[in-house]
């Protein structure tokens, strides 16, 4: 059960779009316990892309993140809030948000974290290949020339690089950074993906969506970014998430070999 709260209205029905469609770029920003980060990151995002519309997708944060989002939406018509009553994984939050922004008239869709690991100043560069028509999916890459990671220890770097390499080899994907979540989509490309067929609920969602886009013929491009560890709060990475990624990547490949690969949305 989810409620979308447009900037100047009472709560809407589940999965409903904003009262007035807003063509242009949309940012999907999933949150869970990001009360300390939300207000400054929203301000920075809208400063970087003043013409964009931002959708906060909050999974029932107990720290009041959803209430802060409502206050921001009431003050700025570019901000909307999708309230979900329970935490169901990053992938599920994104899919719920994607449905709303596509219904809301998005021409491009950006996905990013709310914890400052993705720099809002990089948004125009991430969006540029979509705007000029040279790409259908743009990945903000830590591992392409010019990209880098700061504030991470050796173990975290090895897990991230190893996960991307494993997925790239098993699934035959062209991108070097498959586990990152800073992406821009051409709306028409995102809409071709069968969301009901996506079964990844955690961070492996990033791999699965790139895989599905690739198999549907999307032009994928990487642009370099600097990735920083979150400013405040606790990382949501866990051993369970890493294991899930390995299992799901193998399952995607096995399903494809059995003729059950990605299909276009109906």
Residue 263 lies in a domain: no
Strands 2-5 and 24-31: unpaired
- The gap between the terminal CA atoms of the chain, to the nearest Å, is 23
The answer to whether residue 266 sits within a structural domain is no
Distance CA(13)–CA(117), nearest Å, equals 32
Residue 179: give its domain's CATH number: 3.90.550.10
Q: Is 30 domain-assigned?
A: yes
Give the per-residue pLDDT at 15.
44
Q: What is the pLDDT of residue 12?
A: 38
- Domain containing 222: what range? 2-257
**Model pLDDT, residue 133:** 98
User: CB–CB of 44/72 below 8 Å?
Assistant: no
Q: What is the pLDDT of residue 202?
A: 73
For residue 243, the model assigns a pLDDT of: 85
Name residues whose C-beta falls within 8 Å of residue 42's C-beta, 6 or more positions apart in sequence.
29, 54, 56, 72, 79
> How many separate domains does the chain show?
1
How far is the C-alpha of 187 from the C-alpha of 101, rounded, in Å? 9
pLDDT in tens, 190-206: 999 999 999 877 779 99
Judge if pTM exceeds 0.85. Answer: yes
How crowded is residue 132: how many other Cβ atoms within 10 Å of its Cβ?
8
The reply to whether 225 falls in a domain is yes
Query: What is the CB neighbour count within 10 angstroms for residue 165?
Result: 14
| pLDDT computed for residue 252 by the predictor | 95
Flag residues of the chain having pLDDT under 50.
1-3, 5-16
Tell me the sheet residues that pair with 30. 57
Residue 157, Cβ neighbours under 10 Å: how many? 12
Residue 190, Cβ density class (10 Å: 0-12 exposed, 13-18 middle, ≥19 buried): buried
Q: Is residue 112 part of a domain?
A: yes
* 78 within a domain of the structure (yes/no): yes
Which residues of the chain form beta strands (DSSP E)? 2-5, 24-31, 53-58, 79-84, 106-111, 137-141, 148-150, 183-186, 220-224, 226-228
C-alpha to C-alpha distances, 244 to 21, 90, 241, nearest whole angstrom:
37, 13, 5
For 37-92, the pLDDT digits (tens) are 999 999 999 999 999 999 999 999 999 999 999 999 999 999 999 999 888 889 99
pLDDT reported for residue 10:
33
| 249 within some domain | yes
The pLDDT, as a whole number, for residue 13 is: 36
Decide if 262 is inside a domain. Answer: no
Bridge pairing between strands 79-84 and 148-150: unpaired
* pLDDT at site 263: 87
φ and ψ of 106, to 5 deg:
-60, 135
């Amino acid at each position: 059960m989810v409620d979308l709260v447009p900037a100047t209205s009472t709560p809407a029905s589940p999965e409903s779009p904003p009262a007035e469609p807003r063509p242009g770029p949309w940012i999907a920003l999933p949150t869970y316990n990001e009360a300390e980060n939300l207000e400054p990151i929203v301000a920075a995002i809208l400063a970087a892309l003043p013409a964009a519309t931002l959708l906060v997708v909050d999974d029932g944060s107990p720290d009041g993140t959803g209430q802060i989002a409502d206050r921001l939406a009431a003050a700025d018509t570019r901000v909307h809030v999708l309230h979900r009553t329970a935490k169901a994984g990053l992938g599920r939050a994104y899919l719920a948000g994607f449905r709303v922004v596509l219904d809301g008239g998005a021409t491009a869709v950006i996905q990013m974290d709310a914890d400052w690991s993705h720099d809002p100043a990089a948004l125009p560069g991430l969006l540029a290949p979509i705007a000029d028509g040279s790409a259908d999916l743009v990945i903000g890459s830590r591992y392409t020339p010019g990209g880098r990671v700061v504030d991470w220890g050796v173990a975290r770097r090895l897990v991230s690089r190893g996960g991307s390499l494993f997925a790239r080899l098993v699934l035959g994907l062209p991108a070097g950074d498959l586990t990152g979540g800073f992406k821009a989509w051409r709306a028409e490309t995102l809409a071709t993906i069968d969301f009901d067929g996506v079964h990844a609920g955690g961070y492996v969602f990033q791999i699965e969506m790139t895989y599905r886009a690739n198999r549907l013929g999307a032009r994928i491009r990487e642009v370099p970014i600097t990735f920083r560890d979150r400013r405040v709060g606790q990382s949501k990475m866990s051993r369970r998430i890493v294991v899930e990624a390995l299992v799901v990547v193998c399952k995607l490949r096995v399903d494809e070999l059995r003729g059950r690969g990605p299909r276009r949305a109906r």
